[in-house]
Amino acid sequence: MAKSGKAAPAAGGRATVRKAKPAPTRTGLVRQARRIYRELAEVYPYAHPELDFENPYQLLIATVLSAQTTDLRVNQTTPALFAKYPTPEDLAAANPEEVEELIRPTGFFRAKTKSIMGLSQALRDDFGGEVPGNVKDLVKLPGVGRKTAFVVLGNAFGVPGITVDTHFARLVRRWKWTEQTDPDKIEQEVGSLFPKKDWTMLSHYVIFHGRRICHARKPACGACPIAPLCPAYGEGETDPEKAQKLLKYEKGGMPGQRLKPPPDYPGKPAPPLGAA
């Protein structure tokens, strides 16, 4: 097996890949998991949170809005929202019907309006208009659970945390890092495999991979750079040419999800809402 984890081309230009065996011991599992981490870090050196934000308040609101919708749709919606309500105090005092209309494209807009206005009121009344930098206080806010809290802590405060979204949960089970389905238990078991300092970037790497290559219904196994390390290789399309057509975002030559991506992002920015 090549040290890099990349599959070596066989005759005809196709890669020969064998499904990796699940690690038989705890030590083996840790080594396998950390090797996948290193490989993903090489594949996605530009991995980042895919929500546009300029401060903790914006990231908190955007993360709450991202439930049951795409980061792209949130990023297309929040510019108008933050232009009208730039601070928690502004949003706390807003007309709910006007907020509902602004965030309608994200879906479940009535419930989300109640959450973001409620958490803005709590920030105003209980935290001096500032987003708290700890899990204990964040999860007290309306609409904020551990996943949202760790997104905010990891990306706005530099506090390490694991974000267990649908992509993360799917991939870590495919890789046999855990058999758990409960997000809190997944967070605990996967977190134990890595140094705490790596938790935030681990989340980004895994989620990036899940969105671009290791899809839920049809993973692009034949175009996967960590295929030789994957116990689930073969669940998806193994033909390299067919798999290449399944890639998304910058890996497939498509725009990304952020309207304002980081400078090192190699793909195209997402279009604004209503753009052709």
The answer to whether residues 139 and 176 belong to one domain is no
> Residue 19: which pLDDT band, with cuts at 50, 70 and 90?
confident
88 and 128, same structural domain? yes
User: Which pLDDT tens digit goes with each residue over 220-245?
Assistant: 999 999 999 999 999 999 999 999 99
Residue 175: CATH number of its domain? 1.10.1670.10
- Domain limits at 210? 162-252
**Residue 69 and residue 123 in one domain:** yes
> Does residue 5 lie in a domain region?
no
Q: Are 153 and 168 in a shared domain? A: no
The single residue of 165, 198, 242, 248 carrying the catalytic annotation is 165
Verify that 168 and 243 share a domain, yes or no: yes
Distance CA 28, CA 21 (A): 11
Q: Is residue 13 part of a domain?
A: no
CB 240 within 8 A of CB 20: no
Question: Tell me: the pLDDT tens digits for 110-141?
Answer: 999 999 999 999 999 999 999 999 999 999 99
Last residue of one domain, picked from the residues 139, 157, 175? 157
In a domain, 77, yes or no: yes
Provide the pLDDT for residue 274: 79
pLDDT category of residue 82 using cuts at 50, 70 and 90:
very high
For residue 15, list its beta bridge partners: 9
Tell whether 35 is covered by a domain.
no
Residue 95 lies in a domain: yes
Of 157, 180, 202, the residue that ends a domain is 157
Backbone angles phi, psi at 9, to 5 degrees: -60, 140
pLDDT at 8 over 70: no
Do 99 and 190 belong to one domain?
A: no
Give yes or no for residue 11 having a pLDDT over 60.
no
Phi and psi at residue 268, to the nearest 5°: -90, 145
In a domain, 31, yes or no: no
62 and 139 inside one domain: yes
Written as six digits, the tokens of 196 are 């705490």
- Average of per-residue pLDDT values in the chain: 93
Residue 64 sits in a domain whose CATH number is 1.10.340.30
Of 6, 112, 147, 251, catalytic: 147
Q: How many domains, in total, are found in the chain?
A: 2
* Pair 108, 71 in one domain: yes
pLDDT of residue 14: 52
Answer whether residue 166 is part of any domain.
Answer: yes
147 is catalytic: yes
165 assigned to active site:
yes
Residues 53 and 261: beta-carbon distance below 8 Å: no
